[in-house]
Chains A and B, each alone.
Chain A
């Protein structure tokens, strides 16, 4: 995560100073965008979620304690906004364009990849997020727990449930994993 901005900038942000908000946006935009993209896995949707997340942060600025980490607070907001997007995409039955891999190191056949992708999308949004972050992006449990604002034990349990669900779903399709 990035260096924390100085306290006076954060105080100005909390008071509603738009210049301070823009400075924070410029500093954290890339990091937050990358985090959102890892969850929603679609560049256009990630841009929209990024804007929504920073708008939510500005709207909720009075609740931010400027003695605490802005980066962590922003990431939590971004994770919630991304979770809303995953739920929305699921309701609309959208597939994620970025799931088309360029050239995997150990290629599976296209049919097999489609089946695995479908199984991944059948996970509930909460399990899908931890599967994306922990299993695919290899983020630490502590980082995921902080972003989701849940205990590490809950992250571990969700990873276990996601793995079990994926294995069960693939077994149903006749794929041994």
Chain B
């Protein structure tokens, strides 16, 4: 037995190959749920956006500062 074969045998004995099972549940609803969650605005997002707009309306010169970060 070569050293490589022995290492592979040991490795496969400790971390065996995966037998891919059939899907246990329908995961499509989870994909849709994640899509909706990530595309909806949270209250925090809306609050931050409102704060930025309000700040820029009162201090338009700060737009330069904001633009610097993009």
Contacts and interface: CB of A to CB of B under 8 A. Distances in A.
Q: Do these two chains interact?
A: yes
Interface of A: 18, 22, 25-26, 29-30, 33-34, 37-38, 41, 43, 47, 50-52, 54-55, 58-59, 98-99, 101-102, 104-108, 112-114, 116-117, 120, 131-132, 135-138, 163, 166-167, 170, 175, 177
B34 A135 contact: no
A101 B9 CA distance: 13
A56 B20 CA distance: 22
A69 to B, nearest CB: 20
Contact of A47 (B9, B13, B27): B27
Contacts of A166: 7, 11
B17 to A, nearest CB: 5
B9 A116 contact: no
Given A25-B31, A33-B20, A54-B31, A177 B7 contact: yes
Given A22-B28, A25-B28, A41 B18 contact: yes
Contacts of B23: 29-30, 33
Q: Pick from B6, B9, B11, B13 the residue with the most CB of A within 10 Å.
A: B11
Nearest to A101: B16
B18 A137 contact: yes
A116 B18 contact: no
B14 A177 contact: no
B35 interface: yes
B56 to A, nearest CB: 28
B61 interface: no
Given A113-B13, A163-B4, A38 B20 contact: yes
10 contacts: A25-B31, A30-B22, A41-B18, A43-B21, A58-B31, A106-B9, A108-B13, A116-B15, A120-B15, A138-B17
B30 interface: yes
A114 B38 CA distance: 39
B14 A99 contact: yes
A108 B10 contact: yes
Contacts of A52: 34
Contacts of A117: 14-15
Contact of B35 (A30, A58, A175): A58
B8 interface: yes
Nearest to A99: B15
Nearest to B39: A59
